Structure 1
Amino acid sequence: MDKVAVLIPCYNEEQTVSKVIGDVKEALPEARIYVYDNNSTDDTAKLAAQAGAIVRREYKQGKGNVLRRMFREIDAQCYLMIDGDDTYPLDCAREMVDKVLCRNADMVVGDRLSSTYFTENKRPFHNFGNSLMRMGINGLFGSDIKDIMTGYRALSYEFVKTFPVFSKGFEIETEMTIHAVNYNMQVDNVVVEYRDRPEGSVSKLNTYSDGLKVLRKMLQLYKNYKPLRFFGGLGLILILIALIFMLPIIGVYLDTGLVPRFPTLIVCGFMVLAGIQSFFSGMILEVMAAKDKKDFEYRLNRIHENRKTPE
C-alpha cells in the first residue's frame, strides 16, 4: 500500500502533464504518481512516462470511468486527485494530504471558489454553474462544501473503498461530494489558488451538456438519499395543485348544490391520491435509506479493520 498516491486522469494533456508531474514531485517527493490515459490522441502517455509517472490506461471514455479504474486498482493511505491541465498549484498539496493522514479527514476539498476562480476562469457560464451547484447541494443536503465541482481533492482509504462510482463523466465530483455528505464523513475545505488553462490547452467540459448531466445527477442523488423530502415534496405539490382547481368547484357546490366541471374534479381527485401515494412511497424509501446508512457503517468498519499495513 502506498502512503500517498497522486491520481492524474488525463485526456490529451501533452502540453501540461509533464509540468504537473514535476510539480507533484517537488511538493510530495514521497508520493507515487499515477497517470491514467483515457484514449488520448496525442503524446500524453509518452510524456507522462518520461516524467516519471506510472502510466496506465482506461479505454472507457469519461472521467468517472477513469476514477472507477483508479479506485479499484490503487491502494493508498491517502489519495490526492488532481487534473492534468496545470490549473491547480501544488503549494497546498501537503496541507491537504496531512488533513487526511493526521486529522482523519475522509475528503479534503480544494476550494477554488473562495480564491481566484472567478477572475481566472474566462468562461462565465462555468462560473455561474459552479455557484448554482454549490448553493443547490448545500441547500438540499444541509452541508457547507465550498466548491462542489473541483477536481482537486485528497481522499482517505476508507472513502475510496466505500465509494461506488456510477457516474461516467464530469458529474463524478458531484457524486463524490454528496456521498461524503450523506454518510456523515469528515469533509474539510482548503482554499487553493486557481489559474486558467495555458493558451492552447482546451477544456474537455461542455458547459451545457455536462452541466445538465451534473444537475440531473444532483436531483437523482437527492431522490435516492433523501426520499421522504423528495417524494413528500412532490406529493405536496400535487395536492396543492389539485386543491387550487378543486376549491372553486367546492365553492359552487356549497352555494348551489351543483357540481360543475366533473372531469376537472375527477382529475383533481386522482392528483390527491397520487400525492398521498407519493408521500407514503417516500416514507417507505426513507426506511430503506436509513437501513442503507446502517449497513454502510458496518462496511466502513470492516474496511477499516481489514486495512493493509503500509509497506
Structure 2
Amino acid sequence: MDKLAILIPAYNEEQTIEKVVKDVKEVVSAIPGSVIYVYDNNSKDNTVALAQKAGAVVRHEYAQGKGAVIRRMFREIDAEAYIMIDADDTYPVEAIPDMYQKIVDKDVDMVVGDRLSSTYFEENKRPFHNVGNTLVRKLINTLFKTNIRDILTGYRAFSYRFVKTFPVLSRGFEIETEMSIHATEYRMLVENQVISYRDRPEGSESKLDTYGDGFRVIKTVINLYRGYHPFAFYSIFSLIFFLVSMILFVGRVLLPYPATNTVPNFPSLIVSMILLVLAFITFFSGSILDAIETSNKRNFELKLIECEDKKKNG
C-alpha cells in the first residue's frame, strides 16, 4: 500500500503534463512512499511519453470519460491517502502537503480544493462556467444541506475509506458532483481548502462542454436527490397530483352537484379519481424507497467497518 498516491487523469495534455508531474514530484519528495500515477484516457498526442519522461507511473483506461478513469484509479490503487489533481496545470501543487495532512492527521474523508473562494472568477475566461459553478453549488448545498464551497473542482484529497466505498456511476465530468453528494449523504468528514486557480496556459484546450456537461450535472443532481431522498422527491409529485385532483373534483363535480343532484361532468370525476390514485401511489412509493435507502445507509456503515479492517490488515 502506497503512503500517498497522486492520481492524475489525462487526455491530450501534452502541453502541461510534464510540468505538472515534475511540480508534483518536487512537492511530494518529502513524503516517503509517494507515487505519482498518470491515467491516460486514449490521448492522441504525446501525453504518455512526456508523463513517463517526467517520472510518473503511466496506466491506461480505454473507456472514454473522466468517470471511467476515476473508477479505474480507485479500484487499482491502494494507498493510505490519495490526491487527485487535473493535468492542465490550473491548480497549485503547493497545497498537496496540507491536503495530505488533513487526511492522515484529522482523519478527513475528502478535502475539497476550493477555487471559488479565491481567484477562479478572475482567472476563468468562460463566463458561463462561472455562472454554472455558482448555481450548482447553491443547488446542492440547498437540497442536500451541506456546505461544500466548490462542487465541480477536480482538485481533491481522499481517504482510503472514501475511495474504496465510493460507487462510481457517472462517466463524464459530473463525477465530481457525485463525489460531493456521496460524501455528504453518508456523513463522511469533508473539509474545504481554499486554493488559488490559474487559467489554462495559452494553447491548452479545455475538454469541457459548457452546455452539454452542465445539463448532465443538473441531471445527475436530480437523479441523486431522487435516490438519496426518495420520500421528499416523490412527495412533491404526490402533492401536485392531490391538489390537481381536489381542484378538479371540487370545481367540476362537487360544487355543481347540489343544483342538479347529478354529476354534470363525469369525465372530470374520472380524471380526478385517477389523479387521486396516482397521488397515493407516488406517496407510498416514496415511503417504501425511503425505507430501502435507510437500510442501505445502515449497510454502508457496516461496509465502512470492513474497509477499516482491511486497511489495518493490508
Q: Same fold (TM over 0.5)?
A: yes
Task: Give the TM-score normalised by the residue count of structure 1.
Answer: 0.96
1:214 matched to which residue of 2?
A: 217
Say whether 1:240 aligns with 2:243. Answer: yes
**Following the alignment from structure 1 to structure 2, what is the Cα–Cα distance between the partners of residues 27 and 241?**
62
Question: Paired residue for 1:16?
Answer: 16
1:72 is the counterpart of 2:79:
no
- Name the CA shift for 1:146/1:255 in 2 (closer, same or farther; >3 Å): farther
User: Displacement of 1:131 after TM fit?
Assistant: 1.1
Q: CA deviation at 1:241?
A: 2.5
Deviations 1:265-284 (A, max 9, x none): 32122112111111111111
Distance in 1 between residues matched to 2:51 and 2:165, nearest whole Å: 29
Letter in 1 for 2:2: D
Identity over aligned residues, as a percent? Answer: 55
**Greater mean deviation of Cα atoms: 101-110 or 85-94:** 85-94
**1:143 offset after TM fit, Å?**
0.8
2:164 corresponds, among 161, 165, 184, to 161
Show CA shifts across 1:252-307 (max 9, x none): 22455443332233212211211111111111111111110010010100110111
Deviations 1:222-242 (A, max 9, x none): 111111111112211221222
Deviations 1:150-188 (A, max 9, x none): 000000000000011111111110111111011000000
Q: Deviation digits for residues 67-126 of structure 1, max 9, x if unmatched?
A: 000001100111000100011111221111111010010000001111111111111111
Question: 3-state DSSP class of the match of 2:112?
Answer: strand
Alignment partners' CA distance in 2, 1:236 and 1:99: 44
Question: 1: distance between equivalents of 2:179 and 2:161?
Answer: 13
Aligned residue type for 2:276: V
Structure 1, unaligned runs of 5 or more: none
Q: Return the alpha-carbon distance in structure 2 between the equivalents of residues 148 and 257 of structure 1.
A: 60
Deviation at 1:309, TM superposition (A): 5.9
Q: Does 1:144 align with 2:147?
A: yes
Pairing of 1:131-280 with structure 2 (within 5 A): 131-249=134-252, 250-280=254-284
In 2, distance between residues paired with 1:185 and 1:254? 60
Partner AA of 2:269 in structure 1: L
Q: Which moved more, 1:20-29 or 1:192-201?
A: 20-29
Q: Secondary structure at the match of 2:280?
A: helix
Q: Residue 295 of structure 2 aligns with which residue?
A: 291
Q: TM-score, normalised by structure 2?
A: 0.95
**Alpha-carbon deviation of 1:142?**
0.9
Corresponding residue pairs, total: 310
Q: Which amino acid in 2 is paired with 1:102?
A: D
CA distance 1:211–1:254, shift in 2 (3 Å): farther
| Shift, 1:245, TM fit | 2.9
Structure 1: distance between partners of 2:142 and 2:259: 45
Moved more, 264-273 or 187-196: 264-273
Q: Given the alignment of the two structures, is residue 57 of structure 1 paired with residue 57 of structure 2, yes or no?
A: no
Please give the root-mean-square deviation of Cα atoms over the aligned residues, in Å: 1.3
Q: How far has the Cα of 1:133 moved from its partner?
A: 1.0
AA matched with 2:71? R
Separation (CA, whole Å) in 2 of partners of 1:304 and 1:57: 28
